[in-house]
Chains A and B, each alone.
Chain A
Amino acid sequence: DIVMTQSPLSLPVTPGEPASISCRSSQSLLYSNGYNYLDWYLQKPGKSPQLLIYLGSNRASGVPHRISGSGSGTDFTLKISRVEAEDVGVYYCMQALHTPNTFGQGTRLEIK
């Protein structure tokens, strides 16, 4: 199975400051069609996960523009330009290219 490694695992951030989460995969997620099959999900406290970013850099419906995804191959990054209180939760990357899908360990973002 593909191993997904996130860092950091804990991310305290001051409101209004930027935040960045790294995700690395043990195999390339770049498919022959040019798309990277890497998603980002946010699980808010007590809630089900929600899709933020799909195919590496595409925002899901309703996701604010201050949240962005980038990267290719095996290295990916989720960036929040200005953290708000509503961004608190656990962020997971997930590869969707190789069966079975596999998730990173999760990064807990908290407000300082």
Chain B
Amino acid sequence: EVQLVESGGGLVQPGGSLRLSCSASGFTFSSFAMHWVRQAPGKGLEYLSVISSNGSITYYADSVKGRVTISRDNSKNTLYLQMNSLRAEDTAVYYCVKPWAPKGFSFDYWGQGTLVTVSS
């Protein structure tokens, strides 16, 4: 059974940093690109970032480019999202997402999400 378990969210002051983690199991993690999607409270879904299966290729949405770094450790089946210079508008639930095909962009599994709150 595929499982994606995010952690690392919490309350952080504006300008602060957080590192989110996503522990994956139930599939060959090292074969799949992985993605992050977020959802602000009461709002819709926003695509953030993707990393290729070997970590060599990354992409970031304009809203987080320069402030966020996606990475992965295939030996630990774990995906990361390092978030710096956090702003109030970064307050959201952050989802780790698996595509249904190794290089695909359709998402068949979503984690339960981890809430990041940016507030003083």
Q: Is the CB of A51 within 8 A of B100?
A: yes
Q: Is the CB of A103 within 8 A of B46?
A: yes
Q: Is the CB of A39 within 8 A of B106?
A: yes
Q: Is the CB of B95 within 8 A of A48?
A: yes
Q: Does B105 contact A (CB under 8 A)?
A: yes
Query: Given that A48-B95, A48-B112 are contacting pairs, would A96 and B44 also be in contact in the complex, using a CB cutoff of 8 Å?
Result: no
List residues of chain A with CB within 8 A of the CB of B95. Answer: 48-49
Main DSSP-derived SS at the A contact region: loop
Residue of A nearest to B63 (CB): A100
Q: Is the CB of B104 within 8 A of A96?
A: yes
Q: Does B45 contact A (CB under 8 A)?
A: yes
A101 to B44, CA, bound (A): 13
B10 to chain A minimum Cβ distance, whole angstroms, is 19
Q: Is the CB of A55 within 8 A of B106?
A: yes
Chain A: interface size category: 20 to 34
A14 to B10, CA, bound (A): 40
Q: Is the CB of A100 within 8 A of B47?
A: yes
Q: Does B59 contact A (CB under 8 A)?
A: yes
Q: Is the CB of A49 within 8 A of B45?
A: yes
Q: A50 is contacted by which of B44, B45, B104, B110 (Cβ under 8 Å)?
A: B110
Q: Is the CB of B45 within 8 A of A94?
A: yes
Would you give 10 A-B contacts (Cβ < 8 Å), ordered by A?
A: A37-B105, A41-B107, A43-B45, A49-B45, A50-B110, A51-B100, A54-B100, A102-B47, A104-B44, A106-B45
